[in-house]
Amino acid sequence: ETGVTQTPRHLVMGMTNKKSLKCEQHLGHNAMYWYKQSAKKPLELMFVYNFKEQTENNSVPSRFSPECPNSSHLFLHLHTLQPEDSALYLCASLPGGSTDTQYFGPGTRLTVL
Amino acid sequence: AQKITQTQPGMFVQEKEAVTLDCTYDTSDPSYGLFWYKQPSSGEMIFLIYQGSYDQQNATEGRYSLNFQKARKSANLVISASQLGDSAMYFCAMRLTSGTYKYIFGTGTRLKVLA
Q: Quick check: B26 and B2 in contact, CB under 8 A?
A: yes
What's the pLDDT score for residue A58? 85
Which chain A residue's Cα is nearest to B96?
A: A98
Closest CB from B33, B44, B45 relative to A99: B33
Q: What average pLDDT does chain B have?
A: 93
Closest CB from B33, B52, B101 relative to A48: B101
Which chain B residue's Cα is nearest to A55?
A: B101
- C-alpha distances in Å from residue A98, one per residue of A5, A33, B33, B84, B100: 23, 15, 8, 33, 9
The radius of gyration computed from the CA coordinates of chain A, to the nearest angstrom, equals 13
Cβ separation of A106 and B105 shorter than 8 Å? no
CA atoms within 13 A on the CB side of B3: 6
What's the pLDDT score for residue A63? 95
pLDDT band at B107 (very low <50, low <70, confident <90, very high): very high
**Rounded to the nearest 10 degrees, how much is the dihedral formed by the CA atoms of B50, A96, A58, B44?**
50
pLDDT band at A1 (very low <50, low <70, confident <90, very high): very low
% of chain A with per-residue pLDDT over 90:
68
Give the Cα separation of A25 and A7 in Å (integer).
12
Mutate which of A101, A102, A110 to disrupt the B interface (most B C-beta within 10 Å)?
A: A101
Stretch A86-97: mean pLDDT = 90
Provide the pairing of β-strand A108-112 with A10-13: parallel
Give the Cα separation of B41 and A79 in Å (integer).
28
Residues in chain A closer than 8 A to B9 (CB atoms): 40
Cβ separation of B45 and A41 shorter than 8 Å? no
Give the Cα separation of B87 and B79 in Å (integer).
11
pLDDT band at A52 (very low <50, low <70, confident <90, very high): confident
Tell me the pLDDT tens digit for each residue of B30-50: 889 999 999 998 888 999 999
Interface size, chain A vs chain B, as Cβ–Cβ contacts under 8 Å: 55
Closest CA to A31 of A6, A4, A8: A4
pLDDT band at A26 (very low <50, low <70, confident <90, very high): confident
Provide the pairing of β-strand A53-57 with A4-7: unpaired
